[in-house]
Amino acid sequence: MRKILVTGGAGFIGSAVIRHIIQHTSDAVVNLDKLTYAGNLESLATVANSPRYHFAKLDICDHAGLDALFVEHQPDAVMHLAAESHVDRSISGPAEFINTNIVGTYTLLEAARAYWNELDAERKAAFRFHHISTDEVYGDLPHPSDSAECSMLSGELKDQTLNTQHSQLNTAALPLFTETTPYAPSSPYSASKASSDHLVRAWHRTYGLPTIITNCSNNYGPYHFPEKLIPLVILNALEGKPLPIYGKGDQIRDWLYVEDHARALYEVVTRGEVGETYNIGGHNEQQNIDVVKTICGILDELAPSDFSPYASLITHVIDRPGHDVRYAIDAAKIERELGWTPQETFESGIRKTVEWYLINEDWVSNVKQRGKP
């Protein structure tokens, strides 16, 4: 039995990782979380009573607290997910992103290194520091409407925001992010994550700390804090509120179901190669406007109300400054080397997600009361 220290385990992805480990493996988990507005222990209700689960409320910037935690719990691996994660908040207030994502990752690396240095040779060789990061560190990719041969599609994109039809996205000839794509972050959030990736790489190269990095695309699924696009749209629609879309809504994201991601992360921390990076994506490129229309269509079917058709609530708002136009992941390396593939299509995953929000009103009202979406 391994003991894995998960940072940010009360967050959206961290809680999915912990549920996966407790429910599908024999490993134990120490969940280290500061419980910011984004941290919700209710997301762990199904596993919190397990004798293999332990929670510690701690800030990753607290060096002395981290030292004591490592000594007390003697983990075999760290999965580092604690972060400030919302791009809009990083634009209005970058300080917390610099503090947690950069200074916090540095502090955690130093505490992990001090602990790792004292391990016996066998445990030292087996130890892993797995840093969870984003594809946003790579900047953005060409959009289909950029190329001349796609100018017709571009026209269609403009028109289709006015009706309920989805566009036929043709991105087959366009590049994807690979593990060797140069870093070019656009937002304070992605710049802070890029910085933390560089620190992790340096701690491997300079000190030999056995690190692995994963960069993933946009996650979606149950327990997602309702400031992010998908839960925001579901919950706003149910309340008859406007469904805000940045600009034309033609930004393309590659959606990854959170439980597929949690499974991938466990494969990486247990079987990934030290010093390597793995990109994780869902093969699900979608324009934001189409994501919103898909959700509206499912809600029309599952929760018809005075507000349906819900697509009538779509409201275009001024675009985010520096907004990346397209992200898309080439996940061939993790598929080839670790045999991982996503199980959910976007169609199956988004339906599960909408259904989850429809039957988990208590979780939603609790996080809304405490958090500030």
> Which residues lie near ligand NAD (CB under 6 A)?
7-8, 10-14, 33-36, 38-39, 59-61, 81-85, 100, 104, 132-134, 193, 216, 218-219, 225
Q: Which is nearer to ligand NAD, 179 or 300 (CB)?
A: 179
Q: Evaluate whether 329 touches 281 at the Cβ level (below 8 Å).
A: yes
Q: How far is the CB of 33 from ligand NAD (least distance, A)?
A: 5
State whether residue 113 is helix, strand or coil.
Answer: helix
Q: Which is nearer to ligand NAD, 11 or 297 (CB)?
A: 11
Q: How far is the CB of 83 from ligand NAD (least distance, A)?
A: 3
189 a catalytic residue? yes
CA distance 174 to 332: 16
Half-sphere exposure of 122 (CA within 13 A, CB side): 0
Of 272, 130, 134, 132, nearest to 204 by C-alpha is 130
User: Alpha helices, DSSP H only, in the chain?
Assistant: 12-24, 63-73, 87-92, 95-97, 105-117, 121-126, 151-160, 188-207, 229-238, 258-271, 288-302, 332-338, 346-359, 361-370
Q: Which is nearer to ligand NAD, 157 or 249 (CB)?
A: 249
CA distance 27 to 23: 9
CA distance 291 to 73: 42
Q: How far is the CB of 10 from ligand NAD (least distance, A)?
A: 4
Token reading at 48: 């919190």
Q: Which is nearer to ligand NAD, 216 or 314 (CB)?
A: 216
Q: Which of 76, 135, 140, 285 is catalytic?
A: 135
267 a catalytic residue? no
Q: How far is the CB of 190 from ligand NAD (least distance, A)?
A: 9
Q: Which is nearer to ligand NAD, 112 or 313 (CB)?
A: 112
Q: How far is the CB of 57 from ligand NAD (least distance, A)?
A: 9
Q: Evaluate whether 170 touches 150 at the Cβ level (below 8 Å).
A: yes
Half-sphere exposure of 303 (CA within 13 A, CB side): 20
CA distance 155 to 162: 12
Q: Which of 115, 138, 189, 327 is catalytic?
A: 189
Q: Which is nearer to ligand NAD, 119 or 320 (CB)?
A: 320
Q: Evaluate whether 83 touches 193 at the Cβ level (below 8 Å).
A: yes
136 a catalytic residue? yes
Q: How far is the CB of 259 from ligand NAD (least distance, A)?
A: 13
Residue type, 168: Q
Q: How far is the CB of 145 from ligand NAD (least distance, A)?
A: 24
By Cβ distance, which residue is nearest to ligand NAD? Answer: 11
CA distance 200 to 203: 5
Q: Which of 27, 33, 136, 259 is catalytic?
A: 136
Dmax of the chain from CA atoms?
A: 66
Q: Evaluate whether 118 touches 127 at the Cβ level (below 8 Å).
A: no
Q: Which is nearer to ligand NAD, 169 or 256 (CB)?
A: 256
**Active-site residue numbers?**
135-136, 189
